[in-house]
Structure 1
Amino acid sequence: MLYIVILYMVAMLLVGWWAGRVYIKGMTDFLLAGRRLGIVLCAATLAATHFGGGAVMGGGEYGFKYGLSGAWYGVSCGIGLILLGLVTAKKFRDLAFYTVPDYLEKRYGGKTIRALGSLLSIVALIGILAAQVLSARGALGILGITGNTGAIIATLVFIVYTTAGGLWAVTITDLIQMILAAIGVILAANVVLGKTGGFGGMELLLQAKGVGPEYFSIWGMGTASIMWLLLPTVMYTLIGQDFYQRLFAAKSGTTARNASLVGGIVLVIVSFFPAIMGMGANALADLEDASMAVPWILKNLMGPLLGGVILAALLAAIMSTADSLLSAATSHIVKDFWIEIFHVSEVDKEKELLRVSRISTFVIGILSLIIALIVPGIIDALIYSYTMYTAGVFVPVIGGFLWKGATKEGALASLIIGSILALWGIIGGVTLFGAPVEIFAALISLIVFIVVSLFTKKHAS
């Protein structure tokens, strides 16, 4: 197993080095792959951004707990990409932005809304990136690499290849990683089904453990649980910088739209395999901790060769998400703050900005590693910004896209109030009819958006 994982990491480093030498000439090459991504690379990197350690390990855990409906996290990600393709992908790519806050400033005017949106997104991206570092540590722990050594090695690998090759390296490695991750979970699920005697045998084993028929239904988790999983995931996908960066890198608006649709369909399909793995672990093992479903399968059902391939696939899923987060955070630092807010450099100074981009990428990666290993307790606090960003930014972005009457005042008020309500809901544990905090915060943000826009538009006229 160890040699396969080492070979995989070396291959990723070589791809990053090669991409940096061949493709990277300036900032646009580094941040947006020169806006030259075709449908295959673009679809793969969009899918890989979602299909990370959470989708594999979490999908296995949900499959263990809820059965076939445990696939809904990954399916929700796929639906989000499909809606992204249908709603905004083509229009936003045609506008040739670098970041989502680029759109916010162009649509509403002023730097304040750009700064607030960028800051929330950066903090959240760093927090989620730190969580991926811990996922890598857990994955390499299966090999017996305990402590922080595994996390440091895996993190340095994706920092180095992303710093060297920018989004070109990220998209090429994402294609490799998505193929590897998909093959890995499909192989693992088939091994599990072979050990249980197929779906019929698995059903008999689970029924003997007292599992009910809802365990084998795609709706088994319950409509409310599925909706509260689906809506926040779709909302973030429709406004996340890590997704739009890939759309902005596509050759054209049509390519962006089609790649988003293809990536979403791929995600919907592959998301069922981790759930099947979790169901198989439930049938074959007496685990008290559902999160150990995937590690148990790797340790107990796989030989060294197949186990190494699947472990490399798990690492591929983690690193494909991590490099996407790292690249997205860099685009905020360089475009939104360095260029647009602080006016340190102009966009036409491509080579100077390439140096800034590489330094920013390296620093953000190391910062995430330090947070994960030294102060992991603040990761949850940083990820709160993910919820705040979704609650605050969703309405100004999508509302501004759909409604010409929206005003700068309405957008800014809805962003601030939505974000504050989300933070209040997180800290106070407040819910509304069991809905996730970003849902009810976004609903109130929408009301504020409409009312303030109508009021300010009336007074302006």
Structure 2
Amino acid sequence: MDVIKLNGRGQIMNLLDTVVMLMYFAVLIIAGFIGSIKAKSSEDFMLAGRNLGMFMYLGCLSAVILGGASTIGTAQLGYEHGISGIWFVAMIGLGIIALGTIFNKRISSIKVTTISELLGKKYNKETRYVSALIATIYTLMITVTQVIGIGSIISVLLDWNFILSMLVGGSIVLLYTILGGMWSVTLTDIIQFVVMTIGIFVFMLPISLSEAGGMGKLFSELPASHFNVLSIGIGDIFQYFLLFTLGMVVSQDIWQRIFTARSPSIARKGSVYAGLYSIIYAIAGSMIGMCAMVLLPNMGNTQNTFANFAIEVLPPGVLGFVLASVCSALMSTASGTLLASSTLITNDFIKVLYKNKSEKEIIFISRITTLCVGVVAITLAIWIQDVLVALDVAYAILSGAIFVPFVAALFLKNVKPKSGFYAIIVSTIVVMSGLMIEGLSSKNPIIYGMVSGIVVIVGFTLVTVNKKSYQQVNK
């Protein structure tokens, strides 16, 4: 990991920004202790007691969907493609809106904790186990990417060793998540939502436009393609839809936030607001990337667009706050996916195998599971340090294998118990085979997996109907 040196004013900036970052981390840890006081039952630990009002729910949901990849990735896409860079995060927002408006009413009527628990109720226990396994791998891989992102920001800002930065950042997330579960995550998410919003919309975007010379300068300096909303390509836009819009609908970390709402109305409206906020956030991120293109036209590694540009244009103190907002985005997603992984393991495996446990025992088990998952995630982050391909594979399997059985479970009345299990197994094999044949970046395997899922579910239904008809004829 290349460390960016702060030239000229670096010594003063380092001192101010280090203080800002350390104060921010201290606030998160304090919030974790407050959350531990409120987490008195397993439902408190996993779902914040299903009791969040609109503001807390909106902040909680927005913070988890707008992770570090959303902030850093959108700035990079804005630098490379202009305003068309919005599609990555816009499709995430579209998925949240779809989940809140189309699926929420049916989900809220079924008292479950995980998506795999719902699939187990609609199909059979084997379906619950296999879907829980896939969802756990997916949420774990997202946690790993967020830890890597946290490490990259801390190492750039504080000039620390990259591995040390991942250890510190990942350990802070792990600490406050273990302390209070979803209550700690919720309280820190509210802080992170506010910091993210101020950092991007009050500081980074206005200062970026000012330093770049305003919108007129952007129009005169940038190629026309940077103002074409479709310049990134229809193929990439469709791939974002398959990966992120459909992925959000069946993502456990998003589900877990949906379940925290006090009422279905709050869940529905809050999801729409969070989705719209995501689209506005995507526009801001793309414009920041476009400003960076004007001032830093020959950037070597565009993945560092946001960090490099922030260091270039922001004054001391403000830089620390803005990069703390990026850490906020990373940490909120990391804590959400970390808790989602431990919830899947606790709820769909441990609680099923060891019944009649008291609430205190379940909370203790949840904390131990969270600790273990967190240690694994930090270890993988240090070992791999670049898991973008693995993350694409995880998203592809989640969308390609889980989406169709999930929709069938909610909207089809005569779905057969074994069909969900075999649909997930067959679709996973098809998706993995397609990725190996066509390449890990191909979007086609997701479509193949969804089609194979439909074929399996419809096939089971037709076979069962024909079998019953045959038996009736021969009676």
TM score, norm. by length of structure 2:
0.91
Cα distance in 2 between the residues matched to 1:384 and 1:439: 14
Q: Choose which of 365, 379, 384 in structure 2 pairs with 1:356.
A: 365
Is 2:256 the partner of 1:221? no
Residue deviations 1:129-173 (CA, integer Å, cap 9, x gap): 111111111111221122311111111111010100110111121
Q: How does 1:53-452 map to 2 (within 5 A)?
A: 53-108=68-123, 110-143=124-157, 144-186=159-201, 187-206=203-222, 211=223, 213-285=224-296, 286-340=298-352, 342=353, 344-346=354-356, 349-376=358-385, 380-381=389-390, 384-430=393-439, 435-452=443-460
- 2:114/2:255 contact within 8 Å kept: yes
Instruction: Give 1:404 deviation, angstroms.
Output: 1.4
Contact 1:82 1:261 in 2 (8 A): yes
- Distance in structure 2 (CA, Å) of the matches to 1:178 and 1:378: 26
Deviation digits for residues 73-115 of structure 1, max 9, x if unmatched?
111111111010111112212312110011111112x211001
Distance 1:436 1:46, change over 3 A: farther
Task: Note closer, same or farther for the CA distance 1:377–1:293 as it changes in structure 2 (3 Å cut).
Answer: closer
Tell me if structure 2 keeps the 8 A contact 1:188–1:277: yes
CA contact (8 A) 1:121 1:386 kept: no
Give 1:338's aligned amino acid. I
- Give unpaired runs (5+ residues) of structure 1: none
Q: Which SS does the other structure have where 2:415 is aligned?
A: coil
Deviations 1:409-429 (A, max 9, x none): 322221111111111122223
Cα distance, 1:437 vs structure 2: 2.5
Q: Distance in 2 between matches of 1:327 and 1:135?
A: 18
Q: Secondary structure at the match of 1:90?
A: helix
| Cross-structure match for 1:456 | 464
Q: Distance in 2 between matches of 1:427 and 1:139?
A: 33
The structure-2 alpha-carbon separation of the partners of 1:378 and 1:238, relative to structure 1 and needing over 3 Å to count, comes to closer
Aligned length: 450
Partner of 2:25: 9
CA drift at 1:361: 0.8
Contact 1:406–1:449, Cα closer than 8 Å, also in 2 = yes
Deviation at 1:460, TM superposition (A): 4.5
Measured in 1, the distance between the counterparts of 2:135 and 2:173 equals 20
Distance 1:378 1:198, change over 3 A: closer
Residue type at the aligned position of 2:334: A
RMSD value over aligned CA atoms?
1.8
Q: What is the alpha-carbon distance in structure 2 between the residues aligned to residue 184 and residue 70 of structure 1?
A: 20
Q: Distance between the aligned counterparts of 2:236 and 2:118, measured in 1?
A: 33
Task: Work out the CA distance in 2 between the residues paired with 1:256 and 1:335.
Answer: 22
Output one character per residue of 1:342-401: Cα deviation in whole Å (capped at 9) or x when no partner: 2x1336x21110100111111111110011113447784476333212211110111221
Q: TM-score, normalised by structure 1?
A: 0.93
User: Are 1:25 and 2:37 matched, yes or no?
Assistant: no
Contact 2:152 2:162 in 1 (8 A): no
Runs of 4+ in 1 over 6 A off after TM superposition: none
5+ residue gaps, structure 2, are 1-16, 470-475
Match of 2:5 in 1: none
Equivalent residue of 1:88, what SS?
A: helix
Q: Is the 8 A contact 1:118 1:336 kept in 2?
A: yes
Question: AA paired with 2:403?
Answer: F
Measure, in 1, the Cα distance between the counterparts of 2:233 and 2:386. 32
1:240, distance to aligned residue in structure 2 (A): 0.8
Give the distance between the partners of 2:429 and 2:93, measured in 1 at CA. 29
Deviation at 1:243, TM superposition (A): 0.9
